[in-house]
Amino acid sequence: MYTPVIFFCGVPAVLLAVALLFAGICFTRIQTVNSIEKLTDYSDGYNLYRMNIKYDYSLDDVINYDVRDDQTMINAILKEALPLFPIKIKAPKFGCTAFTLTDNGGDVHMGRNYDFQDNTSAILVYCTPKDGYKSVAFAALNNVSANVPDENLKAKLASLTAPFICLDGVNEKGVSIAVLVVDSKPVHQNTGKPTIFTSLAIRLVLDRAATTQEAVELLKGYDMVASGGIDYHFYIADAKGDGRVVEYDCESEARELVATSVNAATNFYALYQKKVLPNQRNNIYGHGRERYDAVLDVFKKQEGNYTDDTMWAALKAASQEPKPESVTSNTQWSVAYNNTALTADIVIRRNWKDITHYDLKKNKTERMT
């Protein structure tokens, strides 16, 4: 007599479970790549895209993957995003500017320029983790060799890593974060805490921090490992206007985390601002003082009358044209985040009249040209 229960409890049941697991992994990732949408159409081929992450990811699993160097960082990302497929990722180098202001209506804003020598497409990555806050964040697609993310299977698969390679973003609690390069030796803390690498720190803050203070406390719980052979600091702001730069003290052997309240940050240590001069490299203390000064000059001139126009004036003042000799030049995107309204206005490569508006509450975009 044929007994289905006995049959499914044997080897075929294992095969069925594997097949269902495989189907589930594939289905949610297919849903994700099918959500890719092109938002701009520039003739140079580098554009703005958006994507909704439909697959479930475990942030803790990625964090717990014993990250020691760039290769183990990549392995951790691939194991979570693409457990069945081999994809190559390269660690980026970039410059950037970030700042915070509160406008006349009481809304808090964070501005962000992402600067990198090589042109890249950008993708808006919308995440709704089960155990965290929904968010939108930006990833540079050239870092996974997918500047046209829906062009072919390889590009689509590479784009699935986007949640873990984002460079700035904002979550539903109004916490925004941006990563910026500094010129010190890459931090590699080793105090016995769990390790976390640069871009995953951004995902950690977006998924789990409701305030800047919470973000700082979260980061203090980990040993930071800088990726790509270069060092970084983070600019974090929240809906109450608490803007701080999180740095790993370059003068300390232990590289302790220090959070400093500032209105703006570029590519030098806020801790050692007095040691930094504009228009030059300042050893381990960094560079980009001239862009920092340009932002504060805009703030000073418009003090008492801060509006959206102030944000764009500051972003324009700190933006950079391409410089062949400088990796951290060439502003790829500029974002005016509204941490109160949970929106982002986006410009690609200094096309200042072509603005894409994004609303996190609705997960919708609108061209403002």
Q: Tens of pLDDT along 51-79?
A: 999 999 999 999 888 777 888 888 889 88
Of residues 162 and 78, more confidently modeled: 162
Mean pLDDT for all residues in the chain: 91
Cα distance between the two ends of the chain: 72
Arithmetic mean of pLDDT, 160-178: 97
List the single range of 61-65, 82-86, 179-183, 356-360 with lowest mean pLDDT.
82-86
Identify the DSSP state of 160: T
Q: What confidence score (pLDDT) does residue 68 get?
A: 76
Q: Are 174 and 342 in contact (CB under 8 A)?
A: yes
Cα angle 316, 320, 323 (rounded to 5 degrees) comes to: 165
Is the pLDDT at 8 greater than 80? The verdict is no
Could you tell me the pLDDT band of residue 90, with boundaries at 50, 70 and 90?
low
Best CA proximity match to 333, nearest among 151, 199, 183, 178: 178
CA atoms within a 13 Å half-sphere pointing along the CA-CB vector of 159 = 33
Q: What is the DSSP string of 270-313?
A: GGGGGG--TTS--GGGEE-HHHHHHHHHHHHHTTT---HHHHHH
| Pairwise CA distance, residues 183 & 272, whole Å | 13
Arithmetic mean of pLDDT, 11-33: 64
| Pairwise CA distance, residues 29 & 363, whole Å | 19
Is the pLDDT at 243 greater than 70? The verdict is yes
Domains with residue ranges and CATH for the chain? 35-367 (3.60.60.10)
Best CA proximity match to 319, nearest among 116, 101, 138: 116
| Pairwise CA distance, residues 304 & 312, whole Å | 16
Is the pLDDT at 20 greater than 80? The verdict is no
Is the pLDDT at 178 greater than 70? The verdict is yes
Of residues 89 and 46, more confidently modeled: 46
Could you tell me the pLDDT band of residue 11, with boundaries at 50, 70 and 90?
very low
Is the pLDDT at 356 greater than 90? The verdict is yes
| Pairwise CA distance, residues 212 & 344, whole Å | 19
| Pairwise CA distance, residues 226 & 91, whole Å | 10
Of residues 85 and 157, more confidently modeled: 157
Q: What confidence score (pLDDT) does residue 91 get?
A: 56
Best CA proximity match to 205, nearest among 162, 230, 173: 173
SS3 198: helix
Arithmetic mean of pLDDT, 123-150: 96
Q: What confidence score (pLDDT) does residue 179 get?
A: 97
Q: Which residues pair with 124 in a beta bridge?
A: 50, 138
Could you tell me the pLDDT band of residue 6, with boundaries at 50, 70 and 90?
very low
Q: What confidence score (pLDDT) does residue 87 get?
A: 59
Arithmetic mean of pLDDT, 131-135: 96
Q: What confidence score (pLDDT) does residue 177 get?
A: 98
Q: What confidence score (pLDDT) does residue 95 get?
A: 59
Arithmetic mean of pLDDT, 260-285: 97
Q: Which H or E element spans position 195?
A: strand 195-197
Is the pLDDT at 26 greater than 60? The verdict is yes
Question: Residue 217 to residues 205, 210, 354: CA-CA distances in angstroms?
Answer: 10, 11, 38
Q: Are 101 and 300 in contact (CB under 8 A)?
A: no
Q: What confidence score (pLDDT) does residue 326 get?
A: 79
Of residues 67 and 192, more confidently modeled: 192
Could you tell me the pLDDT band of residue 82, with boundaries at 50, 70 and 90?
confident
| Pairwise CA distance, residues 17 & 237, whole Å | 45
Is the pLDDT at 7 greater than 80? The verdict is no
